[in-house]
Amino acid sequence: GARLIAQMANFNQILAPLGVNVLDLQEDQRGGWRCILSNKVRLLLGSEDILPALKRWVVIAPQVKEYLVPGATMDLRYTNGFAVAMPAAATVSSQ
């Protein structure tokens, strides 16, 4: 509904500096948000402080771009960092 559309607009505005946007946005029954970006990276945002967490990730993402591969999952539900789950076939490049 309207809440989902408003949240997608918020996310896309925050993500704009990275040149990506939200392809799919979902809110689960507990209020936790998750999305799939145009680069096919999945973000898990939880239900609390989601916009500040997304803003922190946008600042850090360019420094960890080797992990931003299609199918990777970034868990942003931590206050002082994030976790990365790589897709099974992915290899990390050190370039």
Please report, for residues 77, 82, 93, the alpha-carbon distance to residue 54 in angstroms, rounded to integers and kept in the order given. 10, 10, 24
Q: Is 92 helix (H, G, I), strand (E, B) or coil?
A: coil
CATH architecture of 2-85: 3-Layer(aba) Sandwich (3.40)
Please give the structure tokens belonging to residue 45. Answer: 């945002």
Provide the mean pLDDT of the chain.
92
- 90 pLDDT band, cuts 50/70/90, is low
Give the pLDDT mean for 29-42. 96
Give the pLDDT mean for 51-66. 94
- 8 pLDDT band, cuts 50/70/90, is very high
Give the pLDDT mean for 26-43. 95
In the prediction, which pLDDT does 94 show?
57
